[in-house]
Amino acid sequence: MTETESTPIYPLDRLRRVADAAARAANAHNTQPWDLRYRPDHVEVGWRAEYALGPSDPSHRDLRLSLGTYIESLLLCAAEAGMALRFEPDYDATAARVGRIVPGQWLEPSTRSVADVEARRVWRGAWTPQQVPPAVIGRSLKTAEESGFRVAVVPTDAARPLLVRAYHWFFGHAGIARELLAWARLSPRHPDYQRDGLNDVMLVLNKAEAAAMRMFFAPVVYRALRPLGLVRLLTTLSSSATSGDGVVMVILGKGNDPASEVEAGRLVTRLWLDLFRDGIYVHPQSHVIDCPDTVGDLTRVCGARDGERPLVFFRVGYPATDPSARPRHPRRERAGTTSA
Ligand SMILES: Cc1cc2nc3c(=O)[nH]c(=O)nc-3n(C[C@H](O)[C@H](O)[C@H](O)COP(=O)(O)O)c2cc1C
């Protein structure tokens, strides 16, 4: 069946507009892995294997989180466009599916808006010393609890040694370095610069730094320099990602159910949009969870109990320069849509 022969839950053009707006959702490496499959009475949400990361996301946790951020953004954009939809989880790895969007009841009115979905962006630059107010932290804890998760709040000071170790592991991993280069668009001349991936502006690189990254991550140079201190150098160059005061929030979940990682991704969008409305920015840093040498310590630092494990790690705070001066991440045209 083709899209045009089906009778979708809402007119396709309206659904597509909402799907396009939701493609502003945060997602690992900006691969935009989501795939919407339009069926007669629902829209299946899945992923495209070519947009799933490999060594940088060994358990595909970030993939499922990114699908969750997208689903939550989509539901929010749909509600604002007058469409009452809900997500029905139905995880199936073989079918590359996490569930379906079906007609639903009206969502509770929320302060989260499409304008926030459009404007939200990651912050990878320097931070001011200003502290996140306790009331904002309290609200985040409550939002997490209402979603069936717990947020641990860790001072950046306590997280820094783990972050530095994790960066060292990250930059020393040849597969991760290869994948980072594959998704980096270090010059506007890159053919996919306007499409996806991590561009020089998003990575807060000036021209010289972008050229250095292109050189250092080229496989021959990387192999030659890795034993000669390249990893330490790259870790030092990432110091803005590990320095400063403030706090880190860690979403903790129980068990290993992949579907709960999708739900945690939905929570990421809720937390992130709420923080964004307060002028607070976020920098997720997944490698602290993926690095075998830091995940145990992180679990302890978070005071995890009863089988809780860290699912998402993100630094929160106030950017030292104006993030809105930076363009939003590029999106693919008609991102991730296949006919049924
Ligand atoms: C699950 C998840 C994991 C992420 N991990 C990292 C990370 O480890 N380091 C990082 O700099 N950004 C990370 N990000 C941020 C994404 O790279 C960013 O959302 C994406 O490039 C789109 O940019 P935007 O958020 O500014 O729209 C992550 C985002 C998500 C949703």
Which of 286, 314, 331 maximizes ligand 1 atoms within 8 Å of its Cβ, making it the mutation to test the pocket? 286
Q: Domain holding 93: CATH number?
A: 3.40.109.10
Q: Which residues line ligand 1 (CB under 6 A)?
A: 26-30, 62, 65-66, 69, 121-122, 124, 198, 202, 268, 283-287, 329
**Domain for residue 307, yes or no?**
no
Which of 122, 203, 272 maximizes ligand 1 atoms within 8 Å of its Cβ, making it the mutation to test the pocket? 122
Please answer whether residues 326 and 202 qualify as being in contact, where contact means their C-beta atoms are separated by less than 8 angstroms: yes
120's tokens: 């939200």
Question: Per the structure, how many domains does the chain have?
Answer: 1
**Domain for residue 301, yes or no?**
no
Say how many Å lie between the CA of residue 122 and the centre of ligand 1: 7
**Domain for residue 137, yes or no?**
no
How far apart CA 261 and CA 159 sit, in angstroms, is 22
**Domain for residue 134, yes or no?**
no
**Domain for residue 46, yes or no?**
yes
**Domain for residue 288, yes or no?**
no
**Domain for residue 53, yes or no?**
yes
Please answer whether residues 61 and 255 qualify as being in contact, where contact means their C-beta atoms are separated by less than 8 angstroms: no
Nearest CA to ligand 1 atom 2: 28
Q: Which domain holds residue 333?
A: 12-120+329-339
How far apart CA 289 and CA 151 sit, in angstroms, is 15
What string of pLDDT tens digits covers the 340 residues of the chain? 344 444 557 888 999 999 999 999 999 999 999 999 999 899 999 999 999 999 999 999 999 999 999 999 999 999 999 999 999 999 999 999 999 999 987 767 788 999 999 999 999 988 999 999 999 999 999 999 999 999 999 999 999 999 999 999 999 999 999 999 999 999 999 999 999 999 999 888 889 989 999 999 999 999 999 999 999 888 887 776 777 788 999 999 999 999 999 999 999 999 999 999 999 999 999 999 999 999 999 999 999 999 999 999 999 999 999 888 777 888 887 655 554 4
The Cβ-side half-sphere exposure at 319, using a 13 Å CA radius, reads: 20
**Domain for residue 86, yes or no?**
yes
Which of 29, 248, 270 maximizes ligand 1 atoms within 8 Å of its Cβ, making it the mutation to test the pocket? 29
Nearest CA to ligand 1 atom 12: 284
